Amino acid sequence: MPDYALLVFDWDGTLVDSVGRIVESMRVAAERSGLPQRSDEAIKGIIGLGLPEAIQTLYPEVDDEAALTVFRGDYAEHYLMLEVEPSPLFPGVADALEHFRQSGYRLAVATGKSRRGLDRVLKGQGWEGFFDITRAADESASKPDPRMLHEILAHCRVEPRRAVMVGDAPFDLEMARRAGMDSVAVSYGAQPLSVLREYGPRLEIGHFNELRAWLDGRAQDPWIEVSEHVG
């Protein structure tokens, strides 16, 4: 029996290689609204937030509902055009998730996407019903508020100490910390490890298979000392 019972994953930049499409869609929406362009780094810095929170972080001047609705619509229109061909999973993700499920872990997703957007990408990957529970920002609270994790923990009846959050953004790791959970930082998504280390992740990985190896080692001996800086 693994010492962790529940694995919670962020979506964009953690399971799916979609960060570039998010950046492009945000740029297109800003241009259509006549707003100044932000740097790639600035846009990557809001990935993980719910879309309204992300827009208002980048563009505080978008402070009325009508302008926000237009921006959101332009963003969604361009992103959906890009997603005619679904964003690919990162290497190792599909096999590892199936392995985790077969090993007895409960699996969940906590994302800044909308429920509609999450359901669409789950369907695109053939993962409808694959996870024990999924939570989206527009039906709960945007990261780093821990409400999504509290809801997932309650649904799965798992204590925070037996759950781990896997993500590529400070919002993921801070959300886990506020919920009393361990976290794993991935280096291939929106933010570099130099930023993520500030949030005290239990493990750093550069490839999804490193998470699988770490968890398999802990399952064999929960007390084993495994390097926390893999890859």
Helix, strand, coil share of the chain (percent; to 5): 50, 15, 40
Quick one: pLDDT band at residue 220, thresholds 50, 70, 90? confident
Complete domains list, the chain, with CATH: 6-17+90-220 (3.40.50.1000), 19-82 (1.10.150)
| Average pLDDT of the chain, as a whole number | 93
Q: Is it true that the peptide bond before 91 is cis, omega within 30 degrees of 0?
A: no
Directed axis angle between helix 65-82 and helix 51-58, to 10°? 110
* Contacts of 158 by beta carbon, 8 Å cutoff, 6+ apart: 5, 6, 106
Residue 133 CA to residue 187 CA, distance in Å, equals 25
Residue 191 CA to residue 45 CA, distance in Å, equals 7
Residue 142 CA to residue 128 CA, distance in Å, equals 23
Whether pTM > 0.95 for this model: the answer is no
pLDDT score of 230 more than 80 = no
pLDDT in tens, 43-76: 999 999 999 999 999 999 998 999 999 999 999 9
pLDDT in tens, 107-157: 999 999 999 999 999 999 999 999 999 999 999 999 999 999 999 999 999
pLDDT in tens, 151-210: 999 999 999 999 999 999 999 999 999 999 999 999 999 999 999 999 999 999 999 999
Reduce the DSSP state of residue 57 to 3 states and report it.
Answer: helix
